[in-house]
């Protein structure tokens, strides 16, 4: 049975420790709770056990599911509530009957296999969200939300200490960035990794990502990242190991 959550849930937090999708759901839940009309959270339970969790922020859904979830129920539920975009494990993309718009790999940082990526690169946390957005835009980053929506959403997480960022400056101008998009009690999801075209090839992205991953590990937290297939080797070289795959499906 799938139930709409109407308050804090230890069961949701416990289940969401399992993967990157859970990190997103838990991060959104901690940010918005159940009092905002645009943010809805659901749990599927079978025989008293949680088998799936979903967040719906506006019309974008994130799904975290265990292999023994009731996927027929999830499929019917998604058809009823509708969505503009669904992000989930690639193993479960078939429940919508739609082809994924984007796919990629999930990688997790292994400090024992990492390298010293900074090589004297000076990293700063003194950057504004508007500057990050501009770097992402100029770097050709995929931005499904408009500027105002992106800044409002990221800002809400920053204000609650559930997200953070770092940058590299050149002549006092930020030219590369990376973020911990969602940080929970057990893990952090790194993303928004970008370098302006004219500054690529200098190791900035690797230095920023490694710094954030080590920051999470120091807190005893898992450091995950969702990347495109073509970037998997880049992250492998930094000490990240593939742990799964993701898919983003565009709704009808």
Q: What is the CATH number of the domain that holds 50?
A: 3.40.630
**pLDDT value, residue 120:** 80
Q: Evaluate whether 16 touches 3 at the Cβ level (below 8 Å).
A: no
Q: In degrees rounded to 5, what are phi and psi of residue 161?
A: 70, 25
In a domain, 174, yes or no: yes
The residue among 132, 218, 117, 238 whose CA lies nearest residue 181 is 132
Q: What is the pLDDT of residues 134-189, one digit of tens each?
A: 999 999 988 877 899 999 999 999 999 999 999 999 999 999 999 999 999 999 99
Pairing state of beta strands 102-109 and 164-170? unpaired
Q: Are residues 80 and 125 in the same domain?
A: no
Q: Evaluate whether 216 touches 102 at the Cβ level (below 8 Å).
A: no
Q: Are residues 173 and 218 in the same domain?
A: yes
In a domain, 214, yes or no: yes
Check residue 85 and report its DSSP letter: E
> What CATH number is associated with residue 206?
3.40.630.30
In a domain, 49, yes or no: yes
Q: Give dist(CA 237, CA 61) in Å, integer.
A: 31
- 71: three-class secondary structure by DSSP: helix
Q: Are residues 190 and 206 in the same domain?
A: yes
**pLDDT value, residue 116:** 73
Check residue 164 and report its DSSP letter: E
The residue among 99, 95, 93, 47 whose CA lies nearest residue 71 is 95
Q: What is the pLDDT of residues 22-63, one digit of tens each?
A: 999 999 999 999 999 999 999 999 999 999 999 999 999 999
Q: Are residues 170 and 241 in the same domain?
A: yes
- 175: three-class secondary structure by DSSP: strand
**pLDDT value, residue 142:** 82
Q: Are residues 28 and 134 in the same domain?
A: no
Q: What is the pLDDT of residues 68-79, one digit of tens each?
A: 999 999 999 999
In a domain, 78, yes or no: yes
Task: Give the tokens for residue 175.
Answer: 């030219």
Q: Are residues 147 and 218 in the same domain?
A: yes
Q: Give dist(CA 26, CA 251) in Å, integer.
A: 23
Q: How many CA atoms lie within 13 A of 24 on its CB side?
A: 26
**pLDDT value, residue 117:** 66
Q: What is the pLDDT of residues 95-121, one digit of tens each?
A: 999 999 999 999 999 999 887 766 789
Is 192 exposed, middle or buried (CB count within 10 Å of its CB: 0-12, 13-18, 19+)?
A: buried
In a domain, 252, yes or no: no
Global pTM value: 0.95
Residues 6+ apart with CB under 8 A from 67: none
**pLDDT value, residue 220:** 97
Q: Which domain holds residue 58?
A: 2-98
- As a whole number, mean pLDDT of residues 232-242 equals 96
């Amino acid at each position: 049975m799938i139930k709409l959550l109407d308050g804090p849930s230890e069961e949701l937090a416990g289940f969401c420790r399992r993967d990157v999708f859970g990190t997103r759901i838990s991060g959104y839940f901690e940010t918005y709770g159940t009092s905002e009309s645009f943010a809805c959270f659901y749990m599927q339970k079978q025989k008293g056990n949680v088998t799936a969790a979903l967040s719906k922020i506006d019309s974008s859904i994130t799904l975290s599911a265990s292999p023994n979830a009731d996927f027929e129920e999830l499929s019917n539920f998604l058809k009823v509530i509708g969505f503009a975009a669904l992000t989930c494990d690639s193993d479960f993309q078939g429940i919508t009957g739609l082809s994924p718009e984007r796919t990629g790999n999930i990688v997790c940082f292994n400090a024992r296999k990492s390298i010293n990526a900074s090589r004297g690169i000076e990293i700063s946390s003194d950057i504004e969200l508007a500057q990050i957005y501009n770097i992402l835009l100029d770097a050709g980053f995929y931005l499904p939300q408009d500027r105002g929506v992106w800044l409002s959403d990221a800002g809400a997480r920053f204000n609650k200490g559930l997200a953070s960022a770092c940058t590299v400056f050149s002549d006092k101008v930020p030219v590369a960035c990376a973020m911990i998009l969602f940080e929970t009690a057990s893990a952090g999801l790194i993303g928004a990794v970008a370098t302006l075209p004219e500054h690529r090839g200098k190791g900035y992205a690797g230095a920023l990502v490694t710094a954030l991953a080590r920051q999470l590990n120091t807190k005893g937290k898992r450091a995950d990242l969702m990347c495109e297939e073509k970037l998997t080797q880049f992250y492998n070289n930094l000490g990240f190991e593939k742990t799964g795959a993701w898919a983003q499906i565009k709704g009808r």
